[in-house]
Chains A and B, each alone.
Chain A
Amino acid sequence: MTLAIAAGSAILAALDLPVGTSLHALFIAPVSDSYGLSELALKSTPLLLCAIGLSVCYRAGIWNIGAEGQFVMGALAGGAIALVAPPLGVMTLPAMVTTGVIAGMGWAAIAAWLRTRYGASEILTTIMLNYIAVSLLTWAVHGPLRDPGGYSFPESALFESHALLPALTESSRLTVSTPFALLAVGALWWFLARTLPGYQIAVLGADSKAASFAGFSTTRLTWLVLLGSGAFAGFAGLSEVAGPVGQLTPHIAFGYGYTAIIVAFIGRLHPLGMLLASLLLALTYLGGENLQINTGISKSVTLVFQGLLLFFLLGCDVLIRYRVAGSNQPVAA
């Protein structure tokens, strides 16, 4: 962490920029008021949700890179309910959430099926599915789901108020997804530590031979973790469009699915670690915006800062672990 800040400061100094003010703008200012804190929670929620699902996949050796596509499909399907379904009144939101979760699961199921039935690598299929999901989204907002009163612009109508997740407090944009994410953190911990499948995933992880020896079907495992991950990503997508966004646009592919992969690893696939990692990453986004507003530094510098932070976190993290845990550590990547 300090190394990253040191390197970042060096870059700032090299660019003739005020180091102290910049660091303050990047790390402290964004969370110096309650609005900032709520925004931090808002930004970190989808990251955390996706990361939770992904972490289980990674522990099981399934390289799901498709959280982005699953996120988008959850948003698209749930959003479609809000836009075209007959008036469901008070049942609208539950229908949206269910549809979003199922859509995310369905999208992940494609990868699971391709993997178990055809041996197709999930790295390939999930990356391709990400792109296909975004194409479907763009087609939908340019076509069937486009706002008829929107002057032919490729956006859907704004969701009606009964199709929006209610805000938790007056002054923030947080919705039920944030406490749900926190619950999920706890649930994940419980799953890994206290249930049989969770224990098997945690212990056997990527070692498929050992897993099958222990009577655990890799096919079932693959389906389980991919569906679970898809469910989380789909819910994350739905809660974004039914929450702070409030409509379907081509921009919903925010990249959270990819960032969540980083969150998962920085959090060492551990529920509490991922919680902290999601907050840290969200902070760098908020800090970057702040940096632009306060100092006029261009966005590319904040990207570099983010990357450096990650680089050094990863490097130092390993050094610490190496020293603490001893030399021989069979890491399942």
Chain B
Amino acid sequence: MVEMLDVLLFTTLRAGTPLLLIVLGILITERAGVLNLGQEGLVIMGAACAFVATSTSGSVWIGTLTGVAAGTLTALAFAILVLALRANQVAAGLALTIIGTGLAAMIGDGMSGVSIVGMEALPIPFLGSLPLVGHALFSHDALVYVSLLLLVVIWRVMDHSRLGLTLTAIGHNPGAAHQLGLAVLPIRLMAILAGGALAGLAGAYLAVAYTPLWSEGISAGRGWIALALVVFASWRVFRAMFGAYLFGLMSILNLLLQGVGLNISPNLLGMLPYVATILALLLFSNARHRNTTMAPRALGQPWSHGD
């Protein structure tokens, strides 16, 4: 029983990591007021490029960095569309998904039969041998630790630094921010690129550490789930973390519950994570805030100097 808990905790942490990374990226982008629905495209691009790079160079770290770069560059294309050309963000994001998926498939063509040596587990020297939680918490591969580190860094920056507060202000009222002399477009650009980098990192993690394989279906809709989770988290960093791991847990439970003697159709069980997310959202909703959401008020609206 204790062992199963250990396995559950371990797997949840791993399963939640790519979601956490994507969620953090979306959080930054949306807090700056930009709605990027193209997450699937970013993640898959990151995965494909990371895998190809790892396979050709033999180094998982080169692969990871390549994945991050791929995500960032792809997000740059999106940034040009929505910041410079003021295109509609929803449509641009969807176009990004399509291009990203297609390009990634082209890049990864023929790589499904290739095997690589994935990222090794990196147990932390003393903590890794702790009873009970040692394995589950401290024997992961490096990127899991990186994701947790990023979580803390992003939290500090977003909520406790000048940059973060500026970014949030821009997300609520870019016009006023501009009046105050804040650099709206550059900061939004940075936010979009950061989002792309994180999504690319998530993709790299999937392809280079988690499975590690390349497959066109490797992202499995995580980009969409993450978009919903950010809303669920009311754009707050630690709630986002909670949401990501909760979702990871739910999807594993779905597999685990199959042996317990419950006679529920696996298809219905598959609904579990999605229903749980809606219910959790309801539980967290506050009657006082019924008509005012925590959303960045200018989310999704383009802005330029002339406004």
- Interface of A toward B, CB cutoff 8 Å: 58, 63, 114, 117-121, 123-125, 127-129, 131-132, 135-136, 138-139, 142-143, 218, 258, 261-262, 265-266, 298-308, 310-311, 314-315, 317-319, 322, 327-328, 330-333
Contact = CB atoms under 8 A, between A and B. Distances in A.
Best-buried of A63, A128, A301, A317 by chain B (most CB within 10 Å): A128
B302 A333 contact: yes
Contacts of A266: 91
Contacts, number: 160
Contacts of B99: 303-304, 307-308, 310-311
A333 B271 contact: no
B151 interface: no
Nearest to A15: B106
Contacts of A265: 88, 90-91
Contacts of A328: 306-307
Given A119-B289, A333-B302, A124 B277 contact: yes
Interface in B88-112: 88-92, 94-106, 109
A305 B221 CA distance: 22
Given A63-B300, A265-B88, A300-B103, 9 more contacts: A63-B90, A118-B290, A123-B228, A124-B228, A218-B291, A262-B91, A306-B98, A314-B85, A314-B87
Contacts of A131: 221, 271, 274
Nearest to A333: B300
B224 interface: yes
Contacts of A302: 102
Contact of B268 (A139, A318, A330): A139
B86 interface: yes
Contact of B86 (A58, A123, A318): A318
B56 interface: no
B179 interface: no
Given A124-B231, A300-B106, A331 B301 contact: yes
A24 to B, nearest CB: 20
Given A304-B99, A314-B92, A143 B265 contact: yes
A124 B271 contact: no
22 contacts: A118-B281, A118-B282, A119-B293, A121-B295, A123-B228, A125-B278, A128-B274, A131-B221, A132-B275, A139-B267, A139-B268, A261-B91, A265-B88, A300-B105, A303-B99, A307-B99, A311-B96, A314-B87, A315-B85, A331-B86, A333-B35, A333-B301
B81 interface: yes
Given A139-B267, A303-B102, A333-B301, A120 B282 contact: yes
A285 to B, nearest CB: 12
Contact of A304 (B91, B103, B231): B103
Contact of B102 (A120, A123, A306): A306
Contacts of B103: 300, 304, 307
Nearest to B288: A119
B270 interface: yes
B232 interface: yes
A67 to B, nearest CB: 12
Nearest to A322: B86
A129 B92 CA distance: 23
A128 B91 contact: no
Given A119-B285, A124-B232, A315 B278 contact: no
B218 to A, nearest CB: 14
A315 B80 CA distance: 9
B188 to A, nearest CB: 15
A304 B103 CA distance: 6
Nearest to A284: B98
In order of increasing CB-CB distance, the 5 nearest A-B pairs are A303-B102, A307-B99, A300-B105, A265-B91, A304-B102
B275 A127 contact: no
B227 interface: yes
A114 B278 contact: yes
A331 B302 contact: yes
A119 B275 CA distance: 17
B132 interface: no
Contact of A262 (B95, B268, B281, B307): B95
A123 B88 contact: no
A123 B35 CA distance: 11
B77 interface: yes
B89 A333 contact: yes
A119 B291 contact: yes
B227 A127 contact: yes
B307 to A, nearest CB: 7
B95 A330 contact: no
Contacts of A114: 278, 282
Contacts of A261: 90-91, 94
A124 B243 CA distance: 13
Interface string B189-233: 000000000000000000000000000000001001101100110
B105 A299 contact: yes
A63 B92 CA distance: 15
Contacts of B92: 311, 314
A307 B95 contact: yes
